[in-house]
Structure 1
Amino acid sequence: MPIRYHQLVTYESGPNSTYEEPKLHSSPGYSSEGPLDVQADVEDPIKTENKRRRRALRFGFLSLLAALYMTFFVAKSFLSGGFIRSCHGKHRIGKHGVHQNATSAKLPTYFTLPSGDKIPAIALGVWRAAPGEVGEAVKAALKVGYRHVDDAWIYGNEREVGEAIRASSVPRKDIWLTSKLWNTFHAPEDVEPALDESLARLGTDYLDLYLIHWPVAFKKGGNTVDFDLTENPYPTWQKLEQMVEKGKVRNIGISNFNIRRIQNLTSNPLKIQPAVNQVELSYWNPQPELVKWSKENGLLLEAYSPLGSAEKVKESLEIPEVLVIAKETGLTPAQVYISWHIQRGTVVLPKSVHPVRVEENFHVAPLSSDAFERLEKAATSHEPFRAVDPHWGIDIWN
Structure 2
Amino acid sequence: MPSVPTVTLNNGVVMPQLGFGVFQVPDDETAPAVSEALAAGYRSIDTAALYGNERGVGEAVRASGIAREELFITTKLWNSDQGHDEALAAFDASLDKLGMDYVDLYLIHWPTPARDKYVDTWRAFEKLLAEGRTRAIGVSNFQPAHLDRLAQTSDTVPAVNQIELHPGLQQRELREYDRAHGIATEAWSPLAQGALLKADTVTGIAGRHGVTPAQVVLRWHLQIGNVVIPKSVTPERIRQNIDVFGFELDESELAAIDALDEGMRTGLDPDTFN
Query: Is the TM value for this pair above 0.5?
Result: yes
- Aligned length, in residue pairs: 271
Work out which of the residue numbers 387, 392, 398 in structure 1 matches 2:266. 387
Q: Partner residue of 1:247?
A: 132
Q: Partner residue of 2:205?
A: 325
Cα deviation for residue 291 of structure 1 reads: 1.8
Cα deviation for residue 390 of structure 1 reads: 6.5
The alignment status of 1:335 with 2:215, answered yes or no, reads: yes
Q: Partner residue of 2:149?
A: 264
Cα deviation for residue 243 of structure 1 reads: 0.4
CA contact (8 A) 2:197 2:203 kept: yes
The AA in structure 1 aligned to 2:184 is L
Cα deviation for residue 358 of structure 1 reads: 0.3
Q: Deviation per CA, 1:250-273, whole angstroms, max 9, x where unpaired?
A: 100000011111112112232x21
Q: Partner residue of 2:242?
A: 362
Any gaps of 5 or more consecutive residues in structure 1?
1-88, 91-107, 218-224
Q: Partner residue of 1:349?
A: 229
1-structure distance, mates of 2:131, 2:68:
19
The alignment status of 1:162 with 2:42, answered yes or no, reads: no
CA contact (8 A) 2:35 2:60 kept: yes
1-structure distance, mates of 2:152, 2:250:
39
Cα deviation for residue 344 of structure 1 reads: 1.4
Q: Deviation per CA, 1:132-164, whole angstroms, max 9, x where unpaired?
A: 221111000000100000000010010011001
The AA in structure 2 aligned to 1:367 is L
Q: Deviation per CA, 1:287-345, whole angstroms, max 9, x where unpaired?
A: 12212222222211100001112xxx1x4211000011111222210000001011111
Alignment of 1:287-302 (within 5 A): 287-302=171-186
Q: Partner residue of 1:194?
A: 90
1-structure distance, mates of 2:107, 2:63:
26
Alignment of 1:84-163 (within 5 A): 109-163=5-59
1-structure distance, mates of 2:269, 2:93:
25
Percent identical residues: 38
Cα deviation for residue 372 of structure 1 reads: 0.9
Q: Deviation per CA, 1:3-39, whole angstroms, max 9, x where unpaired?
A: xxxxxxxxxxxxxxxxxxxxxxxxxxxxxxxxxxxxx
The 1:390/1:368 distance shift into structure 2, 3 A limit, reads closer
Q: Partner residue of 1:280?
A: 164
Q: Partner residue of 1:72?
A: none
Work out which of the residue numbers 275, 292, 308 in structure 1 matches 2:192. 308
The AA in structure 2 aligned to 1:292 is E
Q: Which runs of 4+ in 1 moved over 4 A?
A: none
The AA in structure 2 aligned to 1:346 is N
Work out which of the residue numbers 350, 355, 373 in structure 1 matches 2:255. 373
Q: Deviation per CA, 1:14-68, whole angstroms, max 9, x where unpaired?
A: xxxxxxxxxxxxxxxxxxxxxxxxxxxxxxxxxxxxxxxxxxxxxxxxxxxxxxx
1-structure distance, mates of 2:209, 2:220:
12
Q: Deviation per CA, 1:217-268, whole angstroms, max 9, x where unpaired?
A: 7xxxxxxx53x42xxx222111111101111111000000111111121122
Larger radius of gyration: 1
1-structure distance, mates of 2:26, 2:220:
28
Q: Deviation per CA, 1:271-296, whole angstroms, max 9, x where unpaired?
A: x2100000000122111221222222
Cα deviation for residue 201 of structure 1 reads: 0.4
The AA in structure 2 aligned to 1:375 is I
2-structure distance, mates of 1:212, 1:292:
20
**Could you say what secondary structure the match of 1:189 adopts?**
helix
Any gaps of 5 or more consecutive residues in structure 2?
none
**Could you say what secondary structure the match of 1:247 adopts?**
coil
Q: Partner residue of 1:17?
A: none
**Could you say what secondary structure the match of 2:24 adopts?**
coil
Q: Deviation per CA, 1:159-192, whole angstroms, max 9, x where unpaired?
A: 0110011011211111100000111111111111
The AA in structure 2 aligned to 1:395 is T
2-structure distance, mates of 1:320, 1:352:
23
